[in-house]
Structure 1
Amino acid sequence: MSNIASILNESEPAAKPAVEAGDAPAWNSTPTTIGFGSVGRMGSGAAAEPPKDADAAAAEPTKGDASAATNSKEDGPSATVPGSAAKIASGDIPVVINEEDMEGQIYSNAAWKDLGISDEIHRGLLSENYLRPSKIQARSLPLMLSDPPKNMVAQSQSGTGKTVAFLTATLSRVDFSKPEQPQALILAPTQELADQISRNIHSIGRFVKNLKVALAIPRKIARGENVNSCIVVGTPGTVLDLGRRKQLDCSQLKVLVLDEADNMLDLNGLGDQCLRVKLRIMPPDVIESVQVLLFSATFPPKVQQWIPRFAPNANTLTLKTKELTVRGISQMFVDCPNDDSRYDILCKLYGLMTIGQSVIFVRTRKSATEIQRRMTEDGHRVTVLHGDFDSTERLELLGQFRAGETKVLVTTNVLSRGIDVASVSMVINYDIPTKPGPQGDEPDAETYLHRIGRTGRFGRIGVSISFVFDQRSFDHLNAITTHFGIDLVKLPTNDWDEAEELVKQVIKKNSAQASYVPKVDDRQTEADDSKPEPAEAASQSTTSTKKEDDKPADVGW
């Protein structure tokens, strides 16, 4: 932490506080208190059935959600769409969004033509079946396209269209008369995500003349080869190396995007590299002028302290903690008799996994390899993907999964934010996600959220099933349900016919939707290629209005 603080202090002046004294804090992550539910459920209520070998855990009450709410009311399309970029730039319109707007439908009432984008980008969006903007797109684009440009911190659930939002803004900022001059830099935590973003840019920008995109990941750009593309997408370590070796010219950068910004600014993760990219390889005038866009589903407290320094005076779109989970995902848990029984129950679920496609998350690479080996020996077709594979193998395996060549993928947190496949109908948490804490491993609510977000993409229906087998795993999952205020349905292990029917009904709903739901994707992954996977990645809000053009807009919903 001291290293990052020293980089910041020597390179940038202190940023203006996001709120005045007496206001609600700009980032408030106090969770709504929801204890264990009735027997058979984990969630809201008084007490739940504990694991078979342990007593019931008592949920200690905490303070309720302190996120502020607006008093505005929605009056139709104009309330859903804050207005054109021109109106916001001139300060004619206050940005006030009801915190309940994100409930229910993901789409906004806006049209792309209302958001100030070019005809070429509009055609590209339509060609990719993005027929109308989602709410996060409709609300963030006018702010990102304002003149003069302003920084943006945007939070929205997994699968709601964050990637398309910042890519549309990025394409709108670039001067394509200079196709070989780097003007936009997009940083992603993994090679897989960087590759996906690069593909998305080409798809959305297919009608844009002179579009050139460089992919800056390990072994992609040769030493001594200059980056001659107007948009650069890459991982922080590789981009930093290119800048240090003078292969990447940052003198005319207009936009800097951090996808999965919570992971990218994590002091225990990629934060040091990201800060060095901004503060060490960009000229001072670019540091002052570059528009910074930070996008993520979560912004944990340990990351929030650095946001004002990395993206000063940013407009913000935030969510209350209890609004973060995806409503289309049926979240369940299985109480396994012991550790060894988890594998047997996993195999019993195999038939359900292959109705659509499924992802099994485990804690370590060794566990992933072992589960894949055992399931293959037992006659099940399963693929494994983790950080021990080189970049070519990882992209190839992920491509096979996307193409439907394999149905079940066993992986670690390297892909907890990285898989965007329409037919993924089930996510299994074989290991409850944890992170290092002062007293040992502690529950990782943010990683849980990103893991289950691999299903239920953009309004579809999905299933997540978490395995508990002892008091510790039970307590970890309980803490996560309490943090988000969610209910988990207990799958009956004594009647697999009933359990299968329950899950099958949900999966079939997902399969029925997959062919016609417009695809506004938010492609995400976790952990840089340089990070060990067992250290799972590490979440939130206020509401106010945009009063003056030179002040940031803090928006909660």
Structure 2
Amino acid sequence: MTNFSNLSLAEPIAKAVAAEGYETPTPIQLKAIPPALEGRDLVGIAQTGTGKTAAFALPILDRLARHPAPLRPKSPRVLVLAPTRELASQIAASFFAYGRFIKVSVAVVFGGVPINRQIRELHRGVDVLVATPGRLIDLIDRKAVMLSSIEVAVLDEADQMLDLGFIHALRTIMPLLPKARQTLLFSATMPKAIAALADQYQANPVRVAVAPVATTAERVEQFATFVRAGDKQGLLTLTLQEDAVGRALVFTRTKHGADKVVRSLEKSGLRAAAIHGNKSQPQREKALEAFRSGRTRILVATDIAARGLDIDGVTHVVNYDVPNVPEQYVHRIGRTARAGAAGVAISFVADDERAYLRDIERLTRQRVALAPLPEGFVAPPATAERAPAKKPHRGQGQKTDNRGRNGDVRVKGNNDPRHGQTRGEHEHNPDRPKRRPRRRSRGVQGPRAAA
């Protein structure tokens, strides 16, 4: 069996790995670290929680340890791009941990916080810059950072970056890097867009893959319970009150839904916190720290906010809303059963979500066990499920617009239930670069321009 001592890492890096308690590399580390140490470009296909951060951080730190150089203002040597603030922060923390015994400077920049402090830090010079694409472009536009000295570039969670609309940002950033560089790309999936990205920005990359996205964690017990949508909150409260639930991660489809779940849980005496795109960075960090430390044992999150979360000790994942994209289910339940531990994933399936469950089973090629409603769960009377509609006042007709039950405007499309998402449900991402306004042509404006 190969262990880290066989990977020929520089002595201070190997010492830091041992201090972290790591002995045996994970499959992605075993496959990715050797070619990365050789300076090869690499495409790594691996899910969150497989140890891929160390798969690129350790070879990079090995390079910096063997070839130290003085810091240069605004000119980092390494650039790591990540789609979300949480993931960027965790990557930076990993670089600090693995580089504790060498002199390495690491900066992390993302949106949602004041930019001036980040500008000052970059002006002093850093070795490693971890950034979200949107904030990096803001810094480039302000001439606060130059990418001409980059030796290694990393695109982490590349598929998620494309899903969030960062492709245009990448097309702005990548040409600014020197051609003589090493590029490491990591993704949970390998769609055609990622393959095209690799072909465009990498030179003869080594391709390694472990745990394809359709593979769920082996030690996760998966259950689904059919329940009316209006009864989900009561079922969640009863489920989380069980003694077997240690630390639980609850997923909702919308930001509003996450806040609503937290309020209901706290009314029932269960301490909970939420993370989503409407929370400020200090609020998100406070919630994550409380969850990690155990002060809060329930964290409610949306998919985008939770992307890249690496928290040990999660015993239960609850899909309060079944994801309408089956790959998200795999990402969600992968937050439990880590490091050899067992875990439980429970999905609350309303009538209009049964098709989503079938999609998940087709993707994973396994049936999710059905669990009955727990003993002692009493559903409210059917008459309480929805208040009777009020008659319109005189002069007012029935509403005929496309608003959903929450007041969100429905997106028109085909009749596939997957397209029933509302605009209000789409996750706002402050790290996404803003579109520049179109220039109006001078001269006489026609009726369309004047409007």
TM-score normalized with structure 2 length? 0.78
What amino acid is the match of 2:207? Answer: T
Q: Sort the Cα spacing of 1:456 and 1:269 in 2 relative to 1 into closer, same or farther, 3 A.
A: farther
Counterpart of 2:345 in structure 1 is 464
Residues 255-274 of structure 1 mapped to structure 2, 5 A cutoff: 255-266=152-163, 269-274=165-170
Report the equivalent of 1:334.
225
Offset of residue 384 of structure 1: 1.6
1:529 aligns with 2:419: no
Partner of 1:515: none
CA offsets 1:285-309 (integer angstroms, 9 cap, x no match)? x1x2221111133234454433322
Whether 1:276 and 2:172 are equivalent positions in the alignment is yes
Match for residue 214 of structure 1 among 94, 107, 110: 107
Cα distance, 1:322 vs structure 2: 7.5
What is the CA–CA distance in structure 1 between the aligned matches of 2:212 and 2:313, rounded to whole Å?
A: 27
Cα distance change, pair 366–236 in 1 and its aligned pair in 2 (3 A): same
2:136 maps to a residue whose letter is V
Q: 1:293 maps to which residue?
A: 184
Amino acid at match of 1:486: Q
1:366-445 → structure 2 map (5 Å cutoff):
366-434=256-324, 444-445=325-326
Out of 230, 236, 250, which is 2:133 matched to?
236
Deviation at 1:324, TM superposition (A): 2.5
- Sort the Cα spacing of 1:531 and 1:462 in 2 relative to 1 into closer, same or farther, 3 A: farther
Give 1:447-458 correspondences, 5 Å limit: 447-458=328-339
Distance 1:315 1:398 in 2: 35
Q: CA deviation at 1:378?
A: 2.3
CA distance in 2, matches of 1:273, 1:353: 47
Which moves more between the two structures, 458-467 or 121-130? 458-467
Aligned with residue 479 of structure 1, among 336, 342, 359:
359
**8 Å Cα contact 2:214/2:327 also seen in 1:** no
Q: Tell me, what secondary structure is at the counterpart of 1:349?
A: helix
Paired residues of 1:383 and 1:410 also in contact (CA < 8 A)? yes
Change (3 A) 1:117 1:273: same
Kept in 2: contact 1:354–1:407 (CA 8 A): no
Looking at structure 2, the residues matched to 529 and 466 of structure 1 have their Cα atoms a distance apart, in angstroms, of 29
Partner of 1:139: 31
1:353/1:244 CA distance change after superposition, 3 Å = farther
Indicate the percent of aligned positions where both proteins have the same amino acid: 32
| RMSD, aligned α-carbons | 2.3
Q: Within 2, Cα distance between the matches of 1:250 and 1:165?
A: 23
Between the aligned partners of 1:427 and 1:377, the Cα distance in structure 2 is 21
Contact preservation (8 Å) 2:216, 2:364 = yes
Structure-2 change in CA distance of 1:262 and 1:385 (3 Å): same
| Structure of larger gyration radius | 2
* Deviation at residue 462 of structure 1 after TM alignment: 1.0
Equivalences for residues 3-22 of structure 1 within 5 A: none
Separation in structure 1 between the aligned mates of residue 430 and residue 150 of structure 2, nearest angstrom: 25
Question: In structure 1, what residue type is equivalent to 2:109?
Answer: A
Amino acid at match of 2:31: R
Measured after TM superposition, the shift of residue 406 of structure 1 is 0.1
Q: 2:392 aligns to what?
A: none
**Letter matched to residue 372 of structure 2:** P
Alpha-carbon displacement from aligned partner over 1:421-478 (angstroms, at most 9, x marks no partner) = 21111111111112xxxxxxxxx122211111111123221111111111x3111111
Aligned match of 1:349:
239
Q: Which runs of 5+ in 2 are unaligned?
A: 378-426, 434-451
Deviation at 1:235, TM superposition (A): 0.9
SS at match of 1:306: helix
Q: Which residue of 1 aligns with 2:16?
A: 124
- In the aligned structure 2, how far is the partner of 1:311 from the partner of 1:265? 17
In 2, distance between residues paired with 1:349 and 1:207? 45
Distance 2:339 2:114 in 1: 32
**TM-superposition CA deviations, 1:165-211 (whole Å, max 9, x none):** 11102212333222444110111111111111111111111011x21
> Contact 1:157 / 1:324 at 8 angstroms: preserved in 2?
no
Count of aligned positions: 376
2:4 corresponds in structure 1 to 112
Q: In the alignment, residue 144 of structure 1 is paired with which amino acid? A: A
Are 1:382 and 1:406, in contact at CA under 8 Å, matched by a contact in 2? yes
The amino acid across from 2:51 in the alignment is G
1:187, 1:469 → 2: CA distance? 37
* 1:350 to partner: Cα distance: 1.2
Could you tell me which residue of structure 2 aligns to residue 247 of structure 1? 144
Give the 3-state SS of the residue equivalent to 1:199 in structure 2: helix
Alpha-carbon distance in 2 for matches of 1:317, 1:202: 26
Q: Aligned in 2, Cα 1:480/1:312: closer, same or farther, shift over 3 Å?
A: farther
Assess if the C-alpha contact under 8 Å between 2:133 and 2:432 holds in 1. no
The alpha-carbon distance between structure 1 residues 192 and 367, as it changes in their structure 2 partners (threshold 3 A), is same
CA distance in 1, matches of 2:321, 2:432: 19
**Letter matched to residue 91 of structure 2:** I
Instruction: Find the residue that maps to 1:352 and give its secondary structure.
Output: coil
Question: Match for 1:166 among 36, 56, 59?
Answer: 56
Aligned mates of 2:20, 2:62 — CA distance in 1: 17
Tell me the equivalent position of 1:543.
Answer: none
Shift of 1:321: 4.5
Offset at 1:126?
A: 0.6
Q: Which residue among 153, 159, 177 is the counterpart of 2:43?
A: 153
Q: 1:150 deviation in Å?
A: 2.0
SS at match of 1:457: coil
1:528 positional shift: 4.5
Question: Aligned equivalents of 1:485 and 1:322: distance in 2?
Answer: 12
Paired residue for 2:88? 194
Indicate if the aligned counterparts of 1:176 and 1:230 stay in contact, CA closer than 8 A. Answer: no
Q: 1:22-41 alignment to 2 at 5 Å?
A: none
Describe the SS at the equivalent of 1:137: helix
Structure 1 distance, partners of 2:431, 2:96, is 27
Change over 3 Å in CA distance of 1:321–1:429 after alignment to 2: same
Distance 2:344 2:115 in 1: 40
Change (3 A) 1:129 1:496: farther
Bigger relative contact order, structure 1 or 2 (CA pairs below 8 A, ≥6 apart) = 1
8 Å contact from structure 1 (residues 332, 491) kept in 2: yes
Map 1:537-552; keep pairs closer than 5 Å: none
C-alpha distance after superposition, 1:401-437 (max 9, x if no partner): 1111100011111333232221111111111112xxx
